[in-house]
A and B are shown apart, each in its own frame.
Chain A
Amino acid sequence: DIQMTQSPSSLSASVGDRVTITCRASRNIGSYLNWYQHRLGKAPRLLIYGASSLLSGVPSRFSGSGSGTDFTLTITSLQPEDFATYYCQQTYSPPRTFGPGTKLEIK
Chain B
Amino acid sequence: EVQLVESGGGLVQPGGSLRLSCAASGFTFRSYWMSWVRQAPGKGLEWVANIKQDGSEKYYVESVKGRFTISRDNENSLYLQMNSLRAEDTAIYFCARDRKVLNYFHMDVWGQGTPVTVSS
Point out residues on A near B: beta carbons under 8 Å. Answer: 1, 31-32, 34, 36, 38, 42-46, 49-50, 53, 55, 85, 87, 89, 91, 94-101
> Given the interface contacts A46-B107, A53-B101, A53-B104, does A95 sit within 8 Å of B60 by beta carbon?
yes
Interface contact B60-A44, CB-CB below 8 Å:
no
> Given the interface contacts A32-B104, A49-B101, A95-B59, does A43 sit within 8 Å of B94 by beta carbon?
yes
Q: In the complex, A55→B97 CA distance in Å?
A: 14
Q: Which residues in chain B, 47-105, are within 8 Å of chain A measured between CB atoms? A: 47, 50, 59-62, 94, 96, 101-105
Chain A residue nearest to B49 in the complex (CB):
A95
Give chain A residues whose Cβ lies under 8 Å from the Cβ of B59.
94-96
Point out residues on B near A: beta carbons under 8 Å. Answer: 35, 37, 39, 44-47, 50, 59-62, 94, 96, 101-108, 110-113
Give chain A residues whose Cβ lies under 8 Å from the Cβ of B94.
43-44
Interface contact A31-B104, CB-CB below 8 Å:
yes
Q: In the complex, A45→B107 CA distance in Å?
A: 8
Q: Smallest CB–CB gap between B29 and chain A, Å?
A: 18
